[in-house]
Amino acid sequence: MKLPAFARRRVAGIPLPSILIAAAVLIALRSVPPSSKKPAAPPTAAAPQDVSPSPDAPTGSPAALPVSPQPAPSDPKPASTEARRASLKAAIQEILSTLQGDARLESLSPLLAEWIELDAPAAAAWAAALPAGPFRSDAVGELLLHWAAADPEKAAAWLPGSGSLDPESASTLAGQWAVSDPAKAASWAASLSNPADRTAARAAIASSWAARDPLNAAAWAQSLDPSDFPAAATAVADAWARSAPARAAAWLASLSPDPNPALEAAAGTVVQHWTEQNPGAVSQWLNAMPDSPQKDSAASLFALAAAPVAPTDAMLWASSLADDTLRRDTVAGVCERWYDAAPDEFKAQIPAQLDLLEESALRHGIYEMLYEKDPEFRLTLLKIADGDIPPPGADSSDAPDAQ
């Protein structure tokens, strides 16, 4: 039997019995006739009780899902829809009682998607009635992903009065909605009264929008009020830099000729993506910039991002920064990232870099880092710096006691 994609994603992390349970649930679900093509009738007044937690359920446990009685012959709903609804509830209850963590949520995802299609208000009421905690947040988020893809306006109308509105759920709904209609998603985000919810929603819209249309997303981000602009600009920059980092960098530079603390995160994410793709292009871009605090800030970000992949270039840029504090912090950061990525290479090559670090404060940052990570090599480096022993690979005739 071939497991579906959502089950295969977590096979490596699920005990064998859990995999078998999830597979058995899926087989049972597939044996039930598919839903009728006719739309389900509006939920009755009894629908919320049908999906609310059992009063006997322990605190912190998922809500129980009692199976509804079979509809009377006069019930206008198709029998296949009611059978599917009952089967979904039984399958969800089985997963809740047998699986934990990511395996549970991934197994629930396709079931929640179908429940949304059958009866979105009932599925939403069930998620909102779960005991407060990480699982409830995850379940609401998963449900909103499916609902926002199918009917974002109804999901948006439900969320504020559900007791589940927070920055995470606002971000989930707005980001998914922006895939199909960023303008309407932006209008909904603007209606949110809580600043944290509104900022999170707008950042998610910016990210989703910029992945498809960065120019319009950037223009929209620039129209936002100052409190929400930095988060939205960072999201635009992150998404844009994945496909066109040079254009994203040019956009950020056009926003302000001087370093802007509110946009440091945006500049950092652009330089990070660009360095991963083409560190040489970033170095050329920096060389073409006139000396300025903005250049120092960009060069520091580049040095830190390049440390694991191009440590020599990173050290050159870090040691050339004009600002004393920024230079010391960047050199120390480059050395730490270089050591973490390739400790043997760092220990073999850093002695030759000491000539760049004439200031005692710059060397002190390296020694301080090594005090925590590699005290034995720290002592060796101190002796090399003092001329007591030759650096690795040096000719024996260069040693102080050579005859």
Contacts 24+ apart (CB under 8 A), 318-327: 319/356, 319/357, 319/362, 321/296, 322/291, 322/296, 323/293, 323/296, 324/361, 326/296, 326/297, 326/300, 327/362
Q: Give the pLDDT mean for 32-49.
A: 38
Map tokens 């988020």 to a residue: 141
CB atoms within 10 A of CB 114: 19
Q: Is the pLDDT of residue 44 over 70?
A: no
Helix intervals (H) in 14-69: 16-30, 47-51
Q: Give the pLDDT mean for 95-120.
A: 87
Cβ atoms of 244 and 209 closer than 8 Å: no
Residues 264-276 as b/e (b if ≥16 CB within 10 A, e otherwise) read: ebbbbbbbbbbbb
Question: Residue 222's pLDDT is what?
Answer: 94
Ordered by start, the domain boundaries in the chain are 1-36+78-156, 191-277, 284-403
DSSP-assigned letter for residue 61: S
Question: Residue 56's pLDDT is what?
Answer: 37
- The C-alpha R_g of the chain, in whole angstroms, comes to 29
Query: Which tens digit of pLDDT belongs to each residue from 192-240?
Result: 999 999 999 999 999 999 999 999 999 999 999 999 999 999 999 999 9
Q: Give the pLDDT mean for 114-127.
A: 88
